[in-house]
A and B are shown apart, each in its own frame.
Chain A
Amino acid sequence: MNRGVTRRPLLGLLIPAAVAVLFIALPLIGLLTHVDWSNLPSQVASADVLTALRLSLECSAIAVVIALIIGVPLAYLLARTSLPGRRVIRGLVTLPLVLPPVVGGIALQTALGRTTPIGTVLDHFGIVLPFSTAGAAIAEAFVGFPFLVITVEAGLRQRDDHLEEVAATLGARPWRRFWQVTMPLAAPSIAAGAALCWARALGEFGATITFAGSFPGTTETLPIAAYSSFEGSGQIGMAITLSLLLLVISVLVLVALRDRWLGALR
């Protein structure tokens, strides 16, 4: 590094950079200054908030489990095999990252809605996804699982399959190699991917409200509850409390992952 040359920053860059920091910090400060700290404990402990929180945690946890079950195998196949059409599949998987969540919700409705072929079949078994808690979890999984796939694939790519070869010469069959070598070595990236997926699922709004609606106790997760109290009933205080709750959770995720994310940049 040319420390001597780059140590004194260009003033022309300093100003927009400072604006950038304020751009992120000011809304957060605004949020914190409007928190009604004296009523906060009672508001957080209120039945409505606790219901929304419980629902959020439930749905996002289910979303992560779904993402792990289908996402890790996909990441493995993308990283370690010469699966035909790999590039197309990878593009398809990353699409929900850039797709407007509302579009995702509408797309899920057209694929899994009650009147669709799949919806009809599920209906026979008494399963209805739209406007149900399961539907909310599926919408969250749809939006969150690309984070897991991308993170795990990158983690698997970081090391070649040499240790799997070692395991093979020691007599380990393919499944044992997968469970005893590949998965443990990929554990850090799986944990990071799951955390990212979970954070995204927890904050998911657009796809969830479109596919599952906003029924308190069934599909009204924290972000949706925050939006309804802000927009519908004009309870801005409640909206701020719910937002604060989400902010705290986000910061916790960031802290938990700081070594993996920021460590790489340091």
Chain B
Amino acid sequence: MTMRARVRTQLGSLRLDCDLSVDSDVTVAVLGPNGAGKTTLLRIIAGLVPVDEGHVEIDGAVFEDTATGTRQTPEARRVGFVFQDHGLFPHLSVLDNVAFGLRARGMKRKEANARAAEWLERVDLASYARSRPGALSGGQTQRAALARVLVTDPRALLLDEPLAAVDASGRLELRRALRERLSSFTGVRLLVTHDPLEAASLADRVIVLEDGRVTQEGPFGDVSARPRSAWIARMAGLNLLRGAVSDGAIRLDDGSSLTVATDVHGAALATIQPRAVALYRQPPAGSPRNVLRCTVAGIDPEGDRWRIRLEGPVPLIAEVTPAAAAELRLAEGGVVYAVVKATEIDVYAI
């Protein structure tokens, strides 16, 4: 099964312009910063928001096509949507919540309740069947919301920030359980999140959405190792440089140049691990290395590694131990020399 969505639409100040293709054999995460249009994208697929121009379909079943004026109502699409707040009906019991979708599609109460009870059993909520949703914890609410959607056997499962409403202590266990439940669902699975960890642990493939556009897609490992935008690089904790490679050096957009060891030619991106950036008080002499004169813009202590934000020919982040930071007498506004070996710079073509 494959879901295809081509969307061009203006919503307030956000211009959403993206093409997606989501196969049902993998779980796909749309990853991006807040305000990138992730939730809007899900709402468009579910039919809750109209598009100016676009086409949404699953295996030829057209949900929406502005070219032909086709537009199915949300209730006709059979797309399961697990909302960020989970959206359980507060006036119905947990059982009635889970049976709601079946009843809405005309199933008799007795059968609908039996199926709902079966699903509550499956998500370990059988003892809460008669409770109101208010009595459930964050994780239980999420399981109930998931069961309510899955019991209707939807063609696609959309999840909006599935773990955002759950407190941090329960997330680890919940993430594992959610991953299992997702993998046992056979339809299209698409979730959105702003948390790279969530995307990495729940999805097989990520689509990065920034400011309404897809900036990168692929397996999470590939995306985070070779980011194509500053946002992903920051999420992955990498320094990202953009420039052009020729004669063993990458010339950056601001005119400065770094020696690199690569076969790539032309426009390229380069990443540097913060721990590969060495700091010195005096410019070191010797081997052909990149030495950059920088000023310290900020110091962020993070456990046994301190992240030093540097301003210079290129903005860089270096990671040093607290002891090294003390020895270098690092202080905001002070001058340091950042040294990066050519072999520590990972260069890849744009």
Q: Which residues of A contact B (CB under 8 A)?
A: 162-163, 165-173, 176, 180-181, 184-185, 187
CA distance A1 to B142 in the complex (A): 38
Enumerate chain A residues within 8 angstroms of B306, measured Cβ to Cβ: none
**What's the minimum C-beta distance from A172 to chain B, rounded to whole angstroms?**
4
User: Are B91 and A167 in contact, with the CB atoms below 8 A?
Assistant: no
30 sampled A-B residue pairs with Cβ under 8 A: A162-B85, A162-B87, A163-B87, A163-B89, A165-B74, A166-B81, A166-B89, A167-B89, A167-B104, A168-B48, A168-B75, A169-B46, A169-B47, A169-B74, A169-B77, A169-B79, A170-B75, A170-B101, A170-B152, A171-B78, A172-B100, A172-B101, A172-B104, A173-B73, A173-B104, A176-B104, A180-B100, A181-B89, A185-B91, A187-B91
Interface string of B307-322 (1 = CB under 8 A from A): 0000000000000000
Closest-by-CB residue of A relative to B87 is A166
Cα–Cα distance between A170 and B90 once the two chains are bound (Å): 16
B122: which A residues are within 8 A, CB to CB? none
Residues of A within 8 A of B101 (CB): 170-172
How far is B105's CA from A172's CA once the two chains are assembled, in angstroms? 7
Q: Which residue of A lies closest to B88 (CB)?
A: A166
Residues on A with C-beta less than 8 A from B100 are 167, 170, 172, 180
Q: How far is the CA of A1 from the CA of B226 in the complex (A)?
A: 55
Query: Do A165 and B48 touch (CB < 8 A)?
Result: yes
- Extra contacts besides A163-B89, A168-B48, A168-B73 (13): CB < 8 Å: A162-B85, A167-B100, A167-B104, A168-B74, A169-B75, A169-B79, A170-B101, A170-B104, A171-B101, A172-B75, A173-B73, A181-B89, A185-B91
A170 is contacted by which of B48, B73, B85, B149 (Cβ under 8 Å)? B149
- Pair count A-B, CB < 8 A: 58
Q: Is the CB of A170 within 8 A of B91?
A: no
Residues of A within 8 A of B104 (CB): 167, 170-173, 176, 180
Distance (whole angstroms) from the CB of B142 to the closest CB of chain A: 14
Report the 3 A-B pairs with minimum CB-CB distance, sorted nearest first. A170-B101, A166-B87, A172-B104
Most buried by B among A165, A170, A185: A170
In the docked arrangement, what's the CA distance between A79 and B253, Å?
A: 55
Whether B6 sits at the interface, judged by CB under 8 Å, is no
Contacts of A176 in B (CB 8 A): 104
Contacts A176-B104, A180-B100: A169 and B48 contacting too (C-beta < 8 A)?
Answer: yes
Q: A166 to B83, Cβ gap below 8 A?
A: yes
Interface size class of B (residues with CB under 8 A): 20 to 34
Which residues of chain B have C-beta atoms less than 8 A from A172's C-beta?
A: 75, 100-101, 104
Q: How far is the CB of A264 from chain B (nearest CB, A)?
A: 19
List the B residue with the shortest CB-CB distance to A169. B81
Query: Is B143 part of the binding interface, using a Cβ–Cβ cutoff of 8 Å?
Result: no
Question: Would you call B148 an interface residue if the criterion is a C-beta within 8 Å of the partner chain's C-beta atoms?
Answer: yes
Cα distance, A181 to B88, chains bound together (Å): 11
Residue-wise, chain B 103-120 has the 8 Å CB interface mask toward A (1 for contact) of 011000000000000000
Bound together, the chains give a CA A176 to CA B107 distance in angstroms of 14
List CB contacts (< 8 Å) of B134-184 with chain A: 148-149, 152
B212 at the interface (CB under 8 A from A): no
CA distance A170 to B96 in the complex (A): 13
Task: Chain A residues near B46: list those with CB within 8 A.
Answer: 169
B87 touching A171 by the CB < 8 A rule? Answer: no
Q: How far is the CB of B105 from chain A (nearest CB, A)?
A: 5
B80 at the interface (CB under 8 A from A): yes
Q: What residues of B have a CB within 8 angstroms of the CB of A163 in the complex?
A: 87, 89
Is B91 in contact with A184, judged by CB distance below 8 angstroms? Answer: yes
A166 to B104, CA, bound (A): 12
What B residues does A171 contact at CB under 8 A? 75, 78, 101, 104-105, 152
B89 and A169 within 8 A (CB): no
Q: How far is the CA of A169 from the CA of B121 in the complex (A)?
A: 23
Within 8 A of A (CB), among B256-291: none
Which residues of A have CB within 8 Å of B83? 162, 166
B-chain residues with CB within 8 Å of residue A167 when the two chains form the complex: 89, 100, 104
Q: Mark B32-75, 1 if CB is under 8 A from A, else 0.
A: 00000000000000111000000000000000000000000111
- Contacting residues, chain A, for B74 (C-beta < 8 A): 165, 168-169
B157 to chain A, nearest CB (A): 11
Q: How far is the CB of B96 from chain A (nearest CB, A)?
A: 9
- Look across to chain A and name the residue whose beta carbon is closest to the beta carbon of B91: A184
Nearest Cβ on chain B to A24's Cβ, whole angstroms: 38
Q: What are the residues of chain A within 8 A of B92 when measuring CB–CB?
A: 184
In the assembled complex, the Cα of A170 lies from the Cα of B46 at a distance in Å of 10
Nearest A-chain residue to B79, judged by Cβ: A169
Q: Count chain A CB atoms within 10 A of each CB in B75, B83, B85, B149 and give the residue with the most.
A: B75
